[in-house]
Structure 1
Amino acid sequence: MKTQQIVQQLVLGSSSIYRRELLQRLQIPFEVCNPEIDETPLAEEGPDDTALRLAAAKTRAVAVNYRDALIIGADQVAVLEGIQLGKPFNRKNATRQLRSLRGKEVVFHTALSLFNSRTGDMQSQLIPSRVKFRKLSDRQIDNYLDREQPYHCAGSAKAEGLGIALIEHIISEDPTALIGLPLIALVGMLTRAGVEIV
């Protein structure tokens, strides 16, 4: 059995359990560090720019504690008809958000950054996912929120869970991007940084 030779420490700059679970799929050792940054969008900043800026900022915040590491940062911004969708944080907001999404398409802009704190090299990429929601009834929305509390998910639906039942279709070049950590893009970045996954 091949043993992974990781030249530098690998660190996931995230507090998300979903991103941690996704990264575990690659079967390589890594640490997790919460970047603790202000995620407020800047005035006049587009959603893709916000996502890219925050993904990179998370890696740099973690780099303060890891001087010789490959640090992964990711961020996601959801947009409906030009308006950014924040995390609902409670049932009332989630209900309102899901009602506004029924029958409509939301674009999830997922940004990924890989920062080499030894060399200062930063790789970044944006992976959009287009998600069409079903024409949900109020009862369906209530039933969903009774069973799953997606209050920390932009768009108020966990595609990796029961939220998939709310979705009519997804168009994305990377199915893991919607969950928050685009693994296809990450494997490419790690390869360029000298880390072989398989």
Structure 2
Amino acid sequence: MEPGSSLFKIILGSSSVARRKILVEMGYDFAIMTADIDEKGIRKEKPEELVMALAEAKADAILSKLQKSENHGMDAEPTLLIAADTVVVYEGTVREKPLNMEEARQFIQGYSGGHAATVSSVLVTNVKNGFRRGEWDKVEIYFHDIPDQVIDDLIEEGKVLYVAGALIIEHPLVLPYVKQVVGTTDSVMGLPKALTEKLIKEALL
């Protein structure tokens, strides 16, 4: 089945602008549904386990919403639900969205001249037959020194307050200070394309 095919529908279980953009780049049409879950209530020791557990909780919450809707299961074509989660790992510690401006500043200052990793999960559920597959992807990011003025500008603009680890490597202010990315930018942004494509194919078999 080709991207954009009307043989199946896609629901993106995320309000993330970056994930939406990536799925559009992949050539898919999709609807958006969001899950209201208590992310802080889900704790796992390993970041890989945490992002998988969070994606599963999001998928379950959206599925229960779908099951309450009247025409659930009436469509002839399968519906695929894509849920995802991303955390930043810095010196062995998991970082989610910063609590405030001060924490965001502290996060970014830590990356300056150092490195961090992102761990992203993708979970695809075939709503029609219940098939579910998920995997995670890890990317290492190395930084040059980031000037204080750049950090001030990032905090003032505010986008970094709404992303895991206050980390946006594709941001025009950040990009010049990214030394090396071992992995793909789309994975850092929250939806690794190759993995998502693979899971979509598997869910349609």
The equivalences for 1:107-118 within 5 A come to 107-118=117-128
Q: 1:80 aligns with which of 74, 77, 90?
A: 90
Aligned to 2:175: 164
Question: What code does the residue aligned with 2:176 have?
Answer: A
Q: How high is the TM-score relative to the length of structure 2?
A: 0.84
Consecutive unaligned residues in structure 1, runs of 5 or more = none
> Which runs of at least 4 in structure 1 moved beyond 6 Å after TM superposition?
none
| Structure ranking higher in helix proportion | 2
Q: How high is the TM-score relative to the length of structure 1?
A: 0.86
Percent identity between the aligned chains? 23
Q: Is the 8 A contact 2:12 2:83 kept in 1?
A: yes
CA distance in 2 between partners of 1:159 and 1:43 (Å): 26
Consecutive unaligned residues in structure 2, runs of 5 or more = 67-71, 74-78
Q: 2:141 aligns with which of 131, 138, 150?
A: 131
Q: Are 1:100 and 2:122 matched, yes or no?
A: no
* Counterpart secondary structure, 2:160: coil
Select between 120-129 and 60-69 the one with higher mean Cα deviation.
60-69
The alpha carbon displacement at 1:65 in A equals: 3.1
CA distance in 2 between partners of 1:45 and 1:79 (Å): 12
CA change 1:43–1:110 in 2 (3 A) is closer
Question: What code does the residue aligned with 1:169 have?
Answer: Q
The alpha carbon displacement at 1:136 in A equals: 2.0
Question: What code does the residue aligned with 1:179 have?
Answer: M
Q: Is the 8 A contact 1:85 1:155 kept in 2?
A: yes
CA change 1:33–1:191 in 2 (3 A) is same
* Counterpart secondary structure, 2:40: coil
